[in-house]
């Protein structure tokens, strides 16, 4: 038999079994899971209708996702503004355009940085805690107990968190943008010689309602996506292959945080490309 033919046939087999087959399986699994996640999130929102005492659980979810995350949002927001101010001022000085520092910071924050970074911070603090809490509730049969009582676990556990995300993410994005602008002012006008009146006037003039709308839209999408992913991974912690008990909860938490972060950046690109 021809040696070249043997090598080619071997390569084909290797490519099939090592590359194409696993890739195909992973793709099919991802498609199935995306469908599963979409159904889960839709059911989570739908089950808010008729869920009793939803308000009390909603307040708790808003507190956990929002109030408890204010410090991290403020800290990251102010440092983002400080760095933007510093970098922006020295870059613009080269063009003699330091008066454009305000618009640079405002547009960067409102269009991109505030929704993206606020979402990533909320995933890191509130989302990870949420996955762990729901995962432990799954492991300790608390979710089964809700079902046996006749309580829809989607309405009880998922709906308030999803609704809270729709409230909290835009508000936290606004906080982030505002404190970021303050950071930019500290950098440009307190630490560097740009007059504060120039900075704030140019910020005021550059903020466009469409940009604010885009920022709110992004925050809403990021909120539904990330908190949906966190609820989904916690809810299905018992279905994780290769891990059980506490390890399944930790694996689900890691997975939810990674997927949420990727989802934020990917959907950010998608929304920006559609709206620009």
Positions touching another protein (CB under 8 A) are: 52-53, 133, 136-137, 140-142, 144-151, 156
Using the 8-state DSSP alphabet, how is residue 108 labeled? I
Closest CA relative to residue 169, chosen from 237, 121, 230, 240: 121
Q: Report how far apart, in Å, the C-alpha atoms of 183 and of each of 30, 105, 110, 112, 260 are.
A: 41, 10, 14, 16, 27
- What is the chain's percent helix, strand, coil content, to nearest 5? 90, 0, 10
CB 229 to another protein: min, Å: 21
- In three-state form (DSSP H/G/I as H, E/B as E, the rest C), the secondary structure along 229-270 is HHHHHHHCHHHCCCCCHHHHHHHHHHHHHHHHHHHHHHHHHH
CB 259 to another protein: min, Å: 25
Question: For 130-140, b where at least 16 C-beta lie within 10 A, e where not — what string?
Answer: bbbbbbebbbe
Tokens 């991290």 correspond to what residue? Answer: 72
* Enclosing H/E stretch for 157: none
Structure tokens at 6: 């043997």
Q: How far apart are CA 126 and CA 60, in angstroms?
A: 12
Q: Report how far apart, in Å, the C-alpha atoms of 154 and of each of 67, 236, 255 are.
A: 23, 12, 21
């Amino acid at each position: 038999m021809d040696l070249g033919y043997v090598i080619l046939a071997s390569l084909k087999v290797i490519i099939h079994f090592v590359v194409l087959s696993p890739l195909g399986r992973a793709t099919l699994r991802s498609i199935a899971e995306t469908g599963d996640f979409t159904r889960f999130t839709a059911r989570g929102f739908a089950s808010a209708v008729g869920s009793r005492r939803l308000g009390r659980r909603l307040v708790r979810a808003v507190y956990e996702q929002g109030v408890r995350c204010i410090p991290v949002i403020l800290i990251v927001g102010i440092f983002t503004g400080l760095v933007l101010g510093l970098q922006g001022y020295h870059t613009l000085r080269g063009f003699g355009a330091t008066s454009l520092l305000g618009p640079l910071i405002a547009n960067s924050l409102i269009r991109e940085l505030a929704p993206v970074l606020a979402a990533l911070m909320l995933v890191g603090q509130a989302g990870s805690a949420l996955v762990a809490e729901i995962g432990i509730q799954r492991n300790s049969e608390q979710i089964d107990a809700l079902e046996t009582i006749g309580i829809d676990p989607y309405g009880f556990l998922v709906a308030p968190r999803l609704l809270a995300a729709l409230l909290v993410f835009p508000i936290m994005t606004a906080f982030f943008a505002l404190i970021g602008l303050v950071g930019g002012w500290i950098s440009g006008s307190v630490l560097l010689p740009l007059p504060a009146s120039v900075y704030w006037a140019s910020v005021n003039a550059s903020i466009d309602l469409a940009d604010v709308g885009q920022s709110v839209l992004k925050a809403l999408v990021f909120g539904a996506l990330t908190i949906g992913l966190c609820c989904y991974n916690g809810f299905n912690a018992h279905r994780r292959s290769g891990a059980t008990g506490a390890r399944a909860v930790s694996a689900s938490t890691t997975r939810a945080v990674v997927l949420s972060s990727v989802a934020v950046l990917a959907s950010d690109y998608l929304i920006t490309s559609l709206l620009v």
